[in-house]
Amino acid sequence: MSSGKKIFLANFWRRVKTTVVSLAILQSVTTLSVSAQTDTESVVTISYTELLANVKENRVQKIDLESNGLAAEAVLKDGGRRVRVDLIARDGNTELMKALRENGVDTAVKAPQQPTLIWQLVSTFFVPMLLIFILLMVLRRLSNAPGGPGQTLSFGKTKARFSPEAKTGIMFEDVAGIDTAKEELQEVVTFLKQPDRFTAVGAKIPKGVLLIGPPGTGKTLLAKAIAGEAGVPFFSLSGSEFVEMFVGVGASRVRDLFQKAKDNAPCIIFIDEIDAVGRQRGSGIGGGNDEREQTLNQMLTEMDGFQGNSGVIVVAATNRPDVLDSALLRPGRFDRQITVDYPDYKGRQEILKVHARNKKLEENVSLESVARLTPGFAGADLANLLNEAAILAARRYKEAIGELEIADAIDRITIGLTMKPMLDSSKKRLVAYHEVGHALVMTLLKNASLLDKITIVPRSGGIGGFAKGVPDEEYGLESRSQILDTITMMLGGRAAEEVVFGDAEITTGASGDFQQVARLTRLMVTQFGMSDLGLGALESESGEVFLGRNMMPQNDYSVKLGDRIDRQIRQIAQNCYYTAKRLIEENRDLCDRLVDILLDVETLDGEEFRKIVAEYTKIPEKKTASVKF
C-alpha cells in the first residue's frame, strides 16, 4: 500500500471518529435539555378513564386537544396541576366531548407536540451514521483477517520474510562442530561477495544448496550464518507456506518469490523443510495432480527453466531427502547436497564451548568429558543438556553448574525424569537383582560396554532402574562379538530373576529388553550376514506407501527359508541367554553382595561397581576407556 493511500485512510478514519463523537455529545446535550424541560413543567400522564372522571366531577379547568385526536393536555383546578392523556381516536372521543360541554370546560385545539430542531437533527443523522460506522469497522476487521476480502489481491503473493541486509546476528564463528559443511558453504559466500573471482575461470555460481541431516544438527543455523556472512538480501520461509487448499495459489507464490528475488539479486532464498512441497510426484495411492505437485512444478521451472536466475541462490534444508523428487535433486537445481551429520567428539567439544559461553561452570567441570559421554547428541541436544544442567543448579540453589548437575541432566534427557524411590522392599529387591544382572554381565563380558552407572531410583515411563554403559564413539560400526555381548547383557536382567527367584517369580521388567533383542537378532540374520544362513541381505527396510512404494512389505525369500530365519533368531537369543544365566550362577555370592550394597546406596558409580567385582573375580580388559569428569 502506498504512503499517500495510507495517509488518506488515516484522515478518513479520524474524521469519522470525530463526527461520531460530536453527534454523541450533541445527543447527550439534547437529552438533558428535554429532560430538564419536562422536569420543570411536571407533566403527569394519566389514563383516559381518570380524565373522564375528573371532567364529570368538574375538576378540570382547561384542556388542550391535539388536532390529530391522539392526545390531550389538561389543567386541573387543584393547584393548576398539568396532566397528559393518550386518547382513543377511532370513536372520536364522543363521551369525553359531551362531558366537556356539559361542565363548561375551556377547550382548545392545538398542533401535535413536535420534537425540537436539535432532536430532529440527532434522530435523523446520528442513527444512520452510527450504523455506517459499525459497518465500516466490521469491514475493516474482515479485510485485515487472513484470507479476508482485503487480502484477495495479495492471496497469491509470497509470505517469505524479507531482510534487505540479512542482519541475522549469526556468523560462521557461532556455528561449531560441522566444519566440513562450513567449508562447503564458505564458497557460496565467496561466490556472492566476489563473483568475478570465479567467473574469470569459467565457474558458474551454484543455483541451489541442499542441507541434509537429522533434526537439530544445525541446518537452519547454517543458513542464518550464510546470510550473516554474505551480507546480501535474504528471503526465508517454510515449505509449508507454499501449499494452500486453493489450486494455483502455491505456484503463484513461487513465481512471486523468485520475481522479488531477481529484483534484489544477488540474494539468498532459504526454504526450510522443503520436503513439505518437494515430495515425489505421483506418490501415494492413486497419485493425482494436486496443488502440491503444481507448486513443485513451478519451483522446478523457476530454478532451472527458460529464464535465468542470475545471482539468486536457493538454500534448502530437510531431514527427509529420501522423499524428495528426483528432478529437484539433479545438478542445475540443487547443485550441492551438503550432509550436516551428528558431530564427532571434537565437534561436540566445540559446540559445548559455544553454548557454555553464557553459563557459569565450576572449575572441575570438564567439557571434554561431557563430549565423550554424549556420542550421538546433535547440537540442539547439547544446548538442551547445558540448559537442563543450569536449571538443576538453580533449583539446588547453586551458583554454578557442577559435575552432578551435568550427569543428572544427561540421565534426564536419555532416560527420563527421576521419580520418588520405591518403598516396597520386595519389589525394590527384585529391581535391584534385575539391574545387577545387567551390570554384572556387562562387566564380565569382554566386548560389552563399560559400565558407567547403575541405579534403582525409578524414572518416568515406568522405568524401575537402569544400568547404563559408557557409549562407544564408533557406534555405527559393531563387530559380531560386540552385538552378541550386547544381546547377552540385555538378557542379564531376566537371567538374574530366574536364577534368584525361580521361573514362577519372573516379572514383566524384561519386556523392553526382549524387544531390543528381537531387533538385533533379526538384523544379524537378515541384513548383517552374521548367522549360519551365510552371507546376504534377506530383508530390506520397508518403504512407506505414500512415497509410491508397495503397500505390503515384500520378502525376498521362501516360506521354508523364513522358518530357518526364525530358528536362527531363536537360537542366537537362547545361546546368549544361557551365557548370561551361567555368569549369574557362577557369581551368585557376588550378585547378592552387590544387591545389598545397591539397596543401601541406591546408585553406584561404574568404577565403584568394578572395584567390588574385582574382589571376587577377574575383570576382562575393555576396549572402551573409562570416562570421568
Active site residues per annotation: 435
Strands 267-272, 234-238: pairing is: parallel
| Count of Cβ atoms closer than 10 Å to residue 537 Cβ | 10
Question: What is the rounded distance in angstroms from the CA atom of residue 233 to the CA atom of residue 267?
Answer: 5
Spell out the SS3 assignment of 230-261: HCCCEEEEEHHHCCCCCCCHHHHHHHHHHHHH
Run of H or E residues at 165: none
For the record, the C-alpha cell of 101 comes out as 360541554
How many CB atoms are located within 10 Å of the residue 341 CB? 15
The closest alpha carbon to 572, from 495, 478, 445, 483, belongs to 483
- Which residues make Cβ contacts (< 8 Å) with residue 44, sequence separation at least 6? 81, 82, 83, 84
Distance CA(73)–CA(77), nearest Å, equals 14
Cβ neighbours of residue 300 under 8 Å, at least 6 residues apart?
Answer: 327, 328, 333
**DSSP string over 47-113:** -HHHHHHHHHTT-EEEEEEETTSSEEEEEETTTT-EEEEE---TTTTHHHHHHHHHTT-EEEEEPPP
Residue with cell 509410491: 548
Residues 213, 175 contacting (CB under 8 angstroms): no
Following DSSP, what letter does each residue of 495-512 receive, concatenated? Answer: HHHHHHH-GGG--GGGHH
In the chain, count H helices and then E strands. Answer: 21, 14
Question: What is the sign of the dihedral through the CA atoms of 411, 416, 417 and 422?
Answer: negative
**Alpha carbon distance 540, 553 (integer Å):** 9
| Measured distance CA(415)–CA(411) in Å, rounded | 5
Please report where in the chains the cell 505456484 appears, as a residue.
Answer: 251
The answer to whether 489 and 438 are in contact (CB under 8 A) is yes
- CA end-to-end distance (rounded Å), the chain: 61
Tell me how far apart the alpha carbons of residues 86 and 76 are, in angstroms, rounded to a whole number: 16
Are 355 and 386 within 8 A, CB to CB?
Answer: yes
Give CA 484 to chain center in angstroms.
40
Give the helix/strand (H/E) hosting 337: strand 336-339
Residues in contact with 311: Cβ distance below 8 Å, sequence separation at least 6, in sequence order: 195, 205, 262, 265, 266, 267
Q: Are strands 71-76 and 82-86 parallel, antiparallel or unpaired?
A: antiparallel
